[in-house]
Amino acid sequence: PRLLIINGPNLNLLGTREPGIYGASTLADVEQLCRESASALGFEAELLQSNHEGVIIDAIQAARNNAVGIVINPAAYTHTSVAIADALRAVELPVVEVHLSNVHSREEFRRHSYVSPAAVAVIAGAGINGYRYAVDHLASLLRED
Task: Say whether 110 counts as a known binding-site residue.
Answer: yes
**C-beta of residue 94 within 8 angstroms of C-beta of residue 69:** yes
Residue with Cβ nearer ligand DQA (41 or 76): 76
Is 133 known to be catalytic?
A: no
In the three-class reduction of DSSP (H, G, I as helix; E, B as strand; rest coil), residue 70 is classed as strand
Residue of the chain from 53, 110, 116, 121 that contacts ligand DQA (CB under 6 A) = 110
Strand-by-strand arrangement of the 95-99 sheet: 44-49, 2-7, 69-73, 95-99, 121-124
Half-sphere exposure of 27 (CA within 13 A, CB side): 17
Is 99 known to be catalytic?
A: yes
Residue of the chain from 2, 10, 58, 142 that contacts ligand DQA (CB under 6 A) = 10
Residue of the chain from 27, 41, 47, 76 that contacts ligand DQA (CB under 6 A) = 76
d(CA 119, CA 106) in angstroms, rounded, equals 21
Which residues, 6+ apart, have CB-to-CB distance to 14 below 8 Å?
22, 23, 25, 26, 27, 29, 30, 100
Residue with Cβ nearer ligand DQA (99 or 132): 99
Residue with Cβ nearer ligand DQA (133 or 142): 133
Is residue 103 at the binding interface for ligand DQA, with CB under 6 A as the rule? yes
Name the binding residues for substrate: 73, 79, 86, 100-101, 110
Name the binding residues: 73, 79, 86, 100-101, 110
